[in-house]
Structure 1
């Protein structure tokens, strides 16, 4: 499958309140829920994640997800190969390939030459 935008994360102060808001406004369907991270399916578009502000504190993605700056995430077949291209074109790895869970896959983050954060996911 070619790389595609699979997810947009919004950082929120209260995931339950945000879940009610986005479900009410856009009629999104809950796809999966982890602590402080509801994930919704969006018909015809990328999934929408609501990550609690500070949920990444102390972890490898600390400081990437911030209120007011949604993070776009692409699904790719090979994170390492994609990061090689990122480096060759002036980007930088911020979080290397990291396992989410065996059944979910891996993620990574990089910055483009202007410093924008972009996420990558790779399914198992």
Structure 2
């Protein structure tokens, strides 16, 4: 098997799905897509091509638990500039833990934040003109 991407789908736990949706729509300036099932509420990040990496906010109190300290940390695409997204986080109800930080000239910039649900999340961007 050949991997083109290590990730194919991700799910971000939400205690309050509507609050989480407002947060992510505000910081990324997007409209999320609702998809609800009897025991699971989802708000999917928009993607242009179903073959691309996708993900969603998810709520099921018995299965998903937001955490600021445990579990994997997901780096969300903040191209072309991490700072644009960081600037929106406090007003949307989040907290910045690590400000925009250069990883290296070849790997761009990153930052870490806590979302409206208490999840530790990260941003990554490789601005135009940086080595790729």
- Please indicate the TM-score interval, normalised by the length of the shorter structure: 0.3 to 0.5
Structure having the higher strand fraction is 1
Q: TM-score, structure 1 length as denominator?
A: 0.47
TM-score normalised according to structure 2 size: 0.45
